[in-house]
Amino acid sequence: MQKYAEAVCRSLAITIYGRSAAQHYFAAGERNMSEIANQPVLILLGPPGAGKGTQARRLEERFGLVQLSTGDLLRAAVAAGSPAGREAKAVMEAGGLVSDEIVLAILRERLSQPDVAGGVILDGFPRTTGQAEALDTLLAAEGRRVTGAISMEVDDAAMVARIAGRYTCAGCGEGYHDSFKQPKRAGICDACGGTEMKRRPDDTAETVAVRLEAYHSETAPLISYYAGQNLLHRVDAMGEIDAVTTDLISTIEGLRQPA
Ligand code: ADP
Ligand code: ADP
Ligand code: ZN
């Protein structure tokens, strides 16, 4: 009977999540607790425009982890017109922070999906002390903890320049910049060959000051929060994209797995 129930669950999961994610999930289910405790939870901290998304995509491939961006999840909720998305829309457009309640609900939902069982890179989360504490509680309930928090350090002027020129491929999400990272062939995505590029409605001169202020007052205190737990690593994010990737890779390779 139990075997039958398992088979039904498997086929349901394959229908909902696709075969490889479902296999991943069931493989995770068969692993013991100490292995689960070793599935990394990496945090990329840094102001808007620091390069978190750009680097998370590269690290995802390098380390076999899943990038989890609360900004992307919120934009998907806005596009879907869900109640959370409707509430978040105006706040995001103005450059403020969406409430912890909404962000945590969206994150919890995403973390319960099978494809993230092998470990995650959190990009743009946590952004407040309340979110960081909630994450600790959430992980502790599963016998896990944050593996490391990497602060990507850029000055405010670089951040403004990076946000002003940012655009992405509508097809695959690959990030580009008017001056710092153009596709090899103008208008054609290097990653997927797509030709539709988009800019975010909140990447405007007006919101930049608000977002910067939110970063300094709400998110920067997390640097001390993680330093206090001996989990903080700093990476100079002012250099070229490839140089920052190299530093991030060596930082992550140097992290000790949690005991
Ligand atoms: P974040 O996710 O931290 O908000 P992004 O990864 O979206 O930042 O990067 C912001 C913009 O800056 C993008 O247009 C990206 O192409 C560009 N960018 C990212 N890293 C660098 C870098 N090291 N040097 C110059 N431009 C960069
Ligand atoms: P960026 O790195 O350029 O600030 P994100 O895509 O991470 O962009 O976030 C876009 C917007 O989504 C933020 O300005 C904020 O309104 C909202 N947001 C994203 N993540 C969070 C979070 N963890 N807490 C609160 N608001 C968030
Ligand atoms: Zn693309």
pLDDT band at 234, cuts 50/70/90? very high
Q: For the CA atoms of 14, 15, 17, 19, what is the dihedral angle to 10 degrees?
A: 40
Looking at residue 142, its pLDDT comes to 87
Q: Whose CA is nearest to atom 13 of ligand 1?
A: 166
Active site residue 185: no
Looking at residue 11, its pLDDT comes to 44
Contact, 28 vs 118, CB < 8 A?
Answer: yes
Active site residue 256: no
Active site residue 211: yes
CA dist., res. 242 & res. 58, Å (int): 10
- In ligand 1, the atom with minimum distance to the C-alpha of 44 is 3
Residue whose pair of structure tokens reads 């934009």 in the numeric block: 75
Q: How many CB atoms lie within 10 A of CB 198?
A: 11
Beta bridge partners of 233: 150
Residue 21 pLDDT more than 70?
no
- In ligand 2, the atom with minimum distance to the C-alpha of 163 is 3
The chain-wide mean pLDDT, for the chain, equals: 88
The two three-digit tokens of residue 32, written as one number: 């013991």
Active site residue 200: yes
Looking at residue 19, its pLDDT comes to 44
Go through 156-181 and write b for each residue having 16 or more CB atoms within 10 A of its CB, e for each that does not. eebbbbbbebbbbbeeebbbbbeeeb
Protein residues placing their CB within 5 Å of the ion ligand 3: 169, 171-172, 174, 189, 191-192, 194
CA 160 / ligand 3 centre spacing (Å): 24
pLDDT band at 28, cuts 50/70/90? very low
Q: Which of 94, 66, 87, 88 has its CA nearest to residue 208?
A: 94
Q: Give the percent of the chain with pLDDT over 90.
A: 80
Give residues with Cβ within 8 angstroms of 112, minimum separation 6.
none
Report the pLDDT averaged over residues 158-178.
96
Task: Find the range with the poorest average confidence among 21-25, 60-64, 203-207, 243-247.
Answer: 21-25
Residue 226 pLDDT more than 50?
yes
229 versus 21: which is more confidently predicted? 229
For 73-127, write each residue's pLDDT tens digit. 999 999 999 999 999 999 999 999 999 999 999 999 999 999 998 999 999 999 9
Residue whose pair of structure tokens reads 């994150």 in the numeric block: 107
Residue 255, φ and ψ in degrees, nearest 5: -75, 135
Q: How many CB atoms lie within 10 A of CB 23?
A: 15
Looking at residue 256, its pLDDT comes to 60
The two three-digit tokens of residue 95, written as one number: 């450059």
Ligand 1: lining residues by beta carbon, under 6 Å = 46, 48-54, 162, 165-166, 175-177, 180-181, 237, 240-241, 244
Q: Give the percent of the chain with pLDDT over 70.
A: 84
